[in-house]
Amino acid sequence: MSKLIFSACALANPQTSSLPGGTRDIALHDQLYRYAEDLEKSIEKCSTLESQCKELTDTCEWLDESRRELDELVRGSKNIHFLTDTIGIILHSNPASSVLASPLRLAGSNLSEWVLADFMDNFHHVRTNAIAEKQTTTDEWELHLRHGPNSTSPIIVAVRVVALYRHGKINALHWVMRNITYLREIEFDSQISTMVFKGAAEGVMITDIDGEILAVNPAFTQITGYEPEEAIGQNVSFLSSGIQDEAFYVEFWRALREIGGWQGELYNRRKSGEMYPEWLNISAARDNDGRILSYVAMFSDVSRLLRAEKRLAYLAHYDTLTNLPNRHLFEDRLAQALVNGKRSGMPFTLIFIDLDNFKKINDTFGHHVGDMVLQTAGKRLRAAIRAIDTVARLGGDEFVVIAPGLTGIEDIKGVCAKAIEALVQPYDFEGKEIQIGGSFGCAQYPQDGEDDVTLLRYADKAMYSAKAAGGNTHVIHAEDSAPPANAK
């Protein structure tokens, strides 16, 4: 090739070569010169074509490699890829699409068949915009897709569509679907958590690991009186009542850091300064490595609950009309008196009391007056006996007294006489003067009995003896059962 180029150049340049002969030789020379010149141009063009051919070959190889890489990316993508015609018939799909159905089931179906009815408008909108070139490759629309014959929940995807051209015309659409089902579930859970956080009846605090308040809910404000802006940024210690000592809080924080939680009852202080009991439950929020990020504290104001418990306990042990101990509490205290008596030898006297003429008052003036008489009688009995004694109402117009350490006929007579004197004072109700009395029956521990049944029986029997004697008096079982003075 180089020799040919050299010869052509020589012939094309008359200054470098001359041929002997006449006109015919000159014409031949000119013709050869033109051939050489054309040959030189052809050689140059051939060289250019060879270079261009190599560039095309390299480009084709690069395109093939890029196509293989793209295919690999699509096949390995977690996103769902569909190639459809312009009306949505599925031509190809990647392995990720198997979350909807098998490739055989998908191929040839229209993509719209997999879209739930509520999202068909979105489907048609995104397809039409892609064909009309009214959207960019970053535009995303949400679709809900059905999958599996037994599935009740959809797959939620964010869709982008790219139009593919051939010979200047759109002949296919490339659908890229990003599965956002999990994100939507997280958003839903977050919304639910927010609703629970805001709507919870319990106060909620979120703090960092050092106890600085990061967030509070409305119930926190209702219970403590502090607005969010007053609490956030503060350490939880600003709520402390001072009732719990330093040792309590040392153990409290130890449990939080080592166990990750604590629950129990403590006292805190409201913004008004009022102390209140709360039931507190604290849990640690951890990251994936188990490190504590924050604490979530939920607490309830249990002051009403404690008041209710106290009220229930009171109702269980006290008579609601007279506020005296009822039969249940009387039985407990009698049992305790017997235990103390057997342990220490402490004697006591049991006095059974029945009001005189009470039925007549109820029948004459009505039960509301009878209730007032019972209330006043209870107060008078309570005031007449010693502070260490127990006065209880067993029901109706029956009262009973447990008098620890009271023993001996004369001492018992003195206590009974004082109580009877208090009862017989006139009662003035709504301008009406009413007068009652009381029959007292007494039994002593241990000489009259060493158990509750025996003592109650003897006290009750002595009370009936007092009532049989005309009332407004007392009878001591030892005297009531003693033989007559002239007995032999």
Catalytic residues: 397
- Give the separation between CA 453 and CA 458, rounded to whole angstroms: 9
Residue 249, classed as helix, strand or coil, is: helix
- Secondary element (H or E) of residue 71: helix 23-76
- Give the separation between CA 472 and CA 419, rounded to whole angstroms: 10
Q: Is 457 left (phi over 0), alpha (psi -120 to 50) or beta?
A: alpha
313-322 long-range contacts (CB < 8 A, ≥24 apart) are 319/378, 319/392, 319/393, 321/371, 321/374, 321/375, 321/378, 321/393, 322/374, 322/375, 322/377, 322/378, 322/379, 322/393
C-alpha distances (whole Å) from 452 to each of 191, 330, 407, 475 are: 65, 11, 17, 19
- Give the separation between CA 113 and CA 236, rounded to whole angstroms: 57
**Taking the CB of residue 140, how many other CB atoms lie within 10 A of it?**
17
- Among 311, 470, 462, residue whose Cα is nearest residue 400: 462
- Secondary element (H or E) of residue 428: strand 427-429
**Contact status, residue 320 vs residue 393, Cβ threshold 8 Å:** no
For helices 327-344 and 452-468, the axis angle rounded to 10 degrees is: 110
Residue 184, classed as helix, strand or coil, is: helix
Distance of CA 307 to the CA centre of its chain: 25
Residue 17, classed as helix, strand or coil, is: coil
Tell me the backbone φ, ψ of residue 238, rounded to 5 degrees. -70, -15
- Give the separation between CA 298 and CA 206, rounded to whole angstroms: 9
**Contact status, residue 136 vs residue 90, Cβ threshold 8 Å:** no
- Give the separation between CA 458 and CA 454, rounded to whole angstroms: 6
**Contact status, residue 145 vs residue 111, Cβ threshold 8 Å:** no
**Taking the CB of residue 38, how many other CB atoms lie within 10 A of it?**
12
Distance of CA 422 to the CA centre of its chain: 60
